[in-house]
Structure 1
Amino acid sequence: MEETRTRTEVPLDTVDERTLFDGFLDFHRDTLDWKASRLADDQLRAHAVPASNLTLLGMLRHMAEVERFWFREVWAGEKFERGMYDRTDDRDEEWNDLDSDTGPAAYARWRAEVERARAVVAGTPDLDAVFTRGDTGERVSARWILIHMVEEYARHNGHADLLRESLDGEVGE
């Protein structure tokens, strides 16, 4: 059963660049929220195809980590001893170690990181601001991070569309 969901409206007329970036990022966050909502843990753990580690639970965990990395670590300069899912030497732990997590817990972590990210971004009005990645030393602009995050969500939301449709037939853009 397809459900009508409200997502952030991105203005179609002339607006400033920051409004567009924030609008598109929130639109894509709302899309992931829609695709992962109202599912039981076993549905969130369902794999797209047997050979893939792609699941909606893994996607929520991955996007929480991505939000934390780009906005809190790089943008805000917060220091963390390790990533959210760095308990083993598995580079893809957020996708693979699902038995130790639940849908509600992963969803809550992701939502909390989104809210923290919004607060960090709101405190930086200049899209030309430049930050240094602690892991590589590369310098990236606020504009680049926002564009990258829209791209990251857009790619994974395509995966989420397919996963959700295979689980219960729900479709929607």
Structure 2
Amino acid sequence: MTWTSPRPERLVPPPSGDERTQLEAWLDHHRQTLLVKCAGLTPEQLAARSVPPSTMSLLGLLRHMADVERSWFRRRIAGQDLPFLYSDVVDNPDGDFDDASPATAEADWDIFLNEVELARQTAEGRSLEDTFFHRQHEQEMDVRWVYLHMIEEYARHNGHADLLRERIDGVTGS
């Protein structure tokens, strides 16, 4: 039996609440939205590319967001010295998209889920005002900024995912 991507439960963010509750709920909603866009597809469908010359695919988006989760939460907020999962800034900067393969789809799905869980654990107990120094931008940034950026990053890529999914099997929706 061929693996197909599972359908996650997507929670609706609460209509009111404190800032932390809202930020976490909206980030989780966008994480789950990406998984919903990928749900029920075979590895080959997940790896299907958009339109040449683009190498964008749903699987590439999933891999990209796993690296983004790792980078912002574990590498930057927690200061962990971790390599990128799928790319090399010098030799293969777009490896998350370029190297997406049906052969690794199930493993990549699990890696994404694991990075999301590790990101949650990293943020737990940290204040939104906690800061870290971003070497590339050469400035202090706070945890609040990371939440807002992650929501924006997912929202943008979920728009890409809408189009990719519609191209694969005609499924549309929020």
Fold shared per TM-score above 0.5: yes
Which consecutive residues of structure 2, in runs of 5 or more, have no partner in the other structure?
A: 1-6
Could you tell me which residue of structure 1 aligns to residue 157 of structure 2? 156
| Deviation (angstroms), 1:133 | 2.4
Check the 8 A contact 1:32/1:160 in 2, yes or no: yes
Check the 8 A contact 2:73/2:119 in 1, yes or no: yes
Check the 8 A contact 1:130/1:141 in 2, yes or no: yes
Task: Say which SS state the counterpart of residue 141 (structure 2) adopts.
Answer: strand
Check the 8 A contact 1:164/1:170 in 2, yes or no: yes
Residues 1-173 of structure 1 mapped to structure 2, 5 A cutoff:
6-13=9-16, 15-80=17-82, 82-86=83-87, 89-99=91-101, 101-124=103-126, 126-173=127-174
Counting aligned pairs with the same residue, the percent is: 43
Count of residue pairs brought into register by the alignment: 167
Runs of at least 4 residues off by over 6 Å: none
- Please identify, of 57-66 and 128-137, the stretch whose mean Cα deviation from structure 2 is larger: 128-137
What is the alpha-carbon distance in structure 2 between the residues aligned to residue 28 and residue 86 of structure 1? 23
Check the 8 A contact 2:13/2:25 in 1, yes or no: yes
Check the 8 A contact 1:31/1:157 in 2, yes or no: yes
Q: TM-score of the superposition, structure 2-length normalised?
A: 0.89
The residue type equivalent to 2:63 in the other structure is R
**Over aligned residue pairs, what C-alpha RMSD do you find?**
1.8
What is the alpha-carbon distance in structure 2 between the residues aligned to residue 36 and residue 84 of structure 1? 20
Of structures 1 and 2, the one scoring higher in RCO (CA 8 A, sep 6+) is 1
- Please identify, of 108-117 and 30-39, the stretch whose mean Cα deviation from structure 2 is larger: 30-39
Check the 8 A contact 2:43/2:102 in 1, yes or no: no
Q: TM-score of the superposition, structure 1-length normalised?
A: 0.89
